[in-house]
Structure 1
Amino acid sequence: MTCYVFPGQGSQKVGMGETLFNEFSNETKQASNLLGYDIQELCLTDPNNQLNQTQFTQPALFVVSALSYLAYQKENTTQPTFLAGHSLGEYNALFAAKVIDFETGIKLVQKRGELMSQASGGAMAAIIGMSATDIAKTLASNNLPGIDIANFNEPNQTVISGQKNDIKTAQNIFEEAGVRRYIPLAVSGAFHSRYMEPAKKAFETYLESCAFSEPTIPVIANVTATPYTQTDIKTLLAKQITHSVKWVDSITYILNKQETELIEIGPGKVLTGLINKIKKGIETNTVTH
């Protein structure tokens, strides 16, 4: 029993996909034509320092993880029993489940990245060494109602999202409260929070013209931590922009279904690290190119 998981923003790095672009030259050309720039050049050399800008990060990660999946499937024809992705990675899970094809996935993440990049004035921070419950209590007791919880990554790592001043103010509060680390993230906006509502509304409109197929493999949604149905795909993809990524609950749901192995497909090992914190002793593997 196996589950494939796909990473989100933060896993990108210059040089990713090096072994994939020649192997999948047709898909690489298709991606570059759709995006309007050379995706191979962006990923391998990043000549204009764009790889960490969300409007470029999202298509780049989607393409590399999608090609990684196709390469892995060449050698492993058995199907996983579940799929999941962290934030952007959910689009790779939907691609693997044949809900969307490669072209649709690229168009969706390009639009998503463009809309999210337009949100300014926000910030995010990772809090390590405090439970999500205690984080919520600390925010409430210190009169910081403008901060949302963006990612429930693992029991002792939670990401918060809000206006820059609030995230800056929160640093002193949480450090005084004894958290192990408070790490401001290098992002351009307050992702997965109420402040992304304009992006969500615009993305909802864009999604109206998109067609989605029934998942061939169950995909766990970030918003609900339960499997997608065909009828809720558009709703959940839009909601994901403003809602928390329930990664702990998603992995717990999968493990409760007697999954014995989780394989991270795409750049890096971020999710593998989180999963090992959620459940010690679970078998994990990574597939990177």
Structure 2
Amino acid sequence: MKKKVYLFPGQGSQYIGMGKKLCDTYEIAKKTFDEANEILGFDLKKLCFEGNINELTKTINLQPALLTYSVASYLAFTEEYGARPDYLAGHSLGEISALTCAGVINFNDAIKITYKRGKLMQEAVADGIGSMAAIRNIEAAKIEQVCHEISGQNGYVAISNYNSRNQIVIAGYKNNVEAAIKKLEAIGADAKLLNVSAPFHCKLMEPITSAVQDELSKYTYNDTKYKVMSNVTARPYEGKAEVVKLLTEQITKPVRWMEIMDYLRKKSVEIGIELGAGHVLRSLDSAIYVFSYDDDNDKKAIKDLDLESKLPFFSRAMGIITATPNTNWDENEYQKGVVESYKVIQKLSETYEANKTEPSEENMRFATDMLVTALKTKGAKRDEIISRLEQLFWDTRTENIFTNITAFL
């Protein structure tokens, strides 16, 4: 079974008409847009479907619009396929979409957060003062050097997004961004100004950090259903207590998307499903093969993917025993605790395979006890055992049966 991540795009992915086809096809998507309209008090759906691109691109409108489309896409996708992700990752604003789809932020609250976040960002820098640009075909170190040279007492430009090895985004004062573009193009880089309404993920957003933190602190957050990646740390959230802190820091710190993708690949994630507007994230260089749910050709390819297979319980348990390093060199203890436990699980596996039946909860619990015995005998520590059990229950889709992992310890 291939591990997968659901990806959620940020600003820059918008287009007029986004969400219309989805709402025409899936009732749950239409309900999501209607709910957003009611919360906001204006016709967000009409703006997305047939509005003016300049009006849509205003960050006060765009942030709740992209959130709504991503959540609607997620709900439609899961309704169609029933598949569950191993990770969720959102680019910039998309991190809020990811947290919402993971159940950490209630949709009603997420709409209010993104609208307020957009309003504050819009007000942080006056129109025409700030800018952002995508830089290609040059190393990050040279971009950092040029930004440092241009930024002085009265100037500022810096890297705001580490998107991929071949795309870095800079942000700052418009004249400084334009000066950086000229210098970088002179040494072989390709550069393009971005259609955004403010310079995000840089220190020009510092005046609004307190207000953003205050807004985020108004809401109650839930435990996550899935692992959600942070743009600030390029690692999964450790819990709901981090939401206010990390989403506040994200306002002024660069997006570490390249590191997020590298982390996921090291965790054996192979497939990404982009849920939301366009296919910006699919277009970024990545070791993960990404399909866009907003692309008709990709949607056809998704149907051929094995998205919701599960591993046999006993086979997965035996695999975990084999894969866990051993630090116990007492032959008698190893024979009794590891080899005999493995054989017991193997016998259960052979019996159920011969009968072509699903294992009983009783026998799965018994096999889990044998697995824990084997891991303890090998010298695995408590945290490692918990992690191995979490992986067993996740890979075999039994995490709803075995909710109290510590009961096995």
- 1:40 alignment partner AA: K
Q: Does 1:286 align with 2:296?
A: no
Taking only aligned residues, the RMSD between alpha carbons, in angstroms, comes to 1.5
Per the alignment, in what secondary structure is the counterpart of residue 89 of structure 2? Answer: strand
Equivalent pairs, count: 283
- Write the deviation string for residues 101-121 of structure 1: whole angstroms up to 9, x where unpaired: 211111111111111111222
Pairwise CA distance, 1:186: 2.1
1:243 Cα deviation after fit: 0.6
Number of the residue aligned with 1:168: 178
Shift of 1:283: 2.6
Q: 2:235 aligns with which of 226, 234, 250?
A: 226
**In the alignment, what sits opposite 1:144?**
151
Give the C-alpha shift of residue 162 in structure 1.
0.7
- Counterpart contact for 1:12–1:61, Cα < 8 Å: yes
1:1-289 equivalent positions in 2, closer than 5 A: 1-21=3-23, 23-24=27-28, 25-47=30-52, 49-118=54-123, 119-120=125-126, 121-140=129-148, 142-145=149-152, 146-179=156-189, 181-229=190-238, 230-274=240-284, 277-279=285-287, 282-288=288-294
SS in 1 for 2:65: helix
For residues 81 and 69 of structure 1, the distance between their equivalents in structure 2, rounded to whole angstroms, comes to 14
Q: Does the residue aligned with 1:212 lie in a helix, a strand or coil? A: coil
Please tell me whether the aligned partners of residues 67 and 94 of structure 2 are also in contact (alpha carbons under 8 angstroms). yes
Shift in Å at residue 122 of structure 1?
Answer: 1.2
Length-normalised TM-score, structure 2: 0.67
Task: Give TM-score scaled by structure 1 length.
Answer: 0.94
**Amino acid of the structure 2 residue aligned with 1:175:** E
Amino acid across the alignment from 1:35: L
- Higher relative contact order (Cα pairs below 8 Å, separated by 6+ residues): 1
SS at match of 1:224: coil
Residues 45-96 of structure 1: CA deviation (Å, up to 9, x unaligned)? 0158411111111111111111010000102223110000000111111011
Q: 2 CA distance for matches of 1:178 and 1:47?
A: 36
CA displacement at 1:256 relative to structure 2: 0.5
1:154-179, Cα deviation, whole Å (9 max, x unpaired): 10110011111211211221111111
Query: Residue type of the partner of 2:88?
Result: L
Q: Which has the higher strand share?
A: 1
The structure 1 segments of at least 4 consecutive aligned residues displaced by more than 3 Å after TM superposition are: none
Identity among equivalent positions (%) equals 38
| 1:166 aligned partner, one-letter code | N
User: 2:282·2:292 contact (CA, 8 Å) conserved in 1?
Assistant: yes
> Which one-letter code corresponds to 2:292 in the other structure?
T
Residues 187, 70 of structure 1: alpha-carbon distance in 2 compared, 3 angstrom cutoff: same
**What does the per-residue CA deviation read over 1:9-31, in whole Å, with 9 as the maximum and x for residues that have no partner?**
11110011013335234332221
The 1-side partners of 2:216 and 2:107 are apart by 16
Do 2:32 and 2:71's aligned partners in 1 also have CA atoms closer than 8 Å?
A: no
Aligned mates of 1:185, 1:26 — CA distance in 2: 32
Contact 1:131 1:157 in 2 (8 A): no
SS in 2 for 1:260: strand
Give the CA deviation at 1:138. 2.6
Q: 1:125 to 1:283 in 2, by over 3 A?
A: closer
Residue 21 of structure 2: SS of its match in structure 1?
A: coil
Name the counterpart of 2:367.
Answer: none
Match of 2:327 in 1: none
* Structure 1 stretch displaced more, 207-216 or 246-255: 207-216
CA distance in structure 2 between the aligned counterparts of 1:165 and 1:28, rounded to whole angstroms:
38
Q: Name the CA distance, whole Å, in 2 between partners of 1:195 and 1:268.
A: 28
- 8 Å CA contact 1:41, 1:47 repeated in 2: no
> What's the secondary structure of 2:252's corresponding residue?
coil
- Distance in 2 of aligned mates of 1:21 and 1:233: 30
Deviation at 1:137, TM superposition (A): 2.1
2-side partners of 1:135 and 1:109: how far apart? 30
Conservation of the 8 A alpha-carbon contact between 2:44 and 2:65: yes
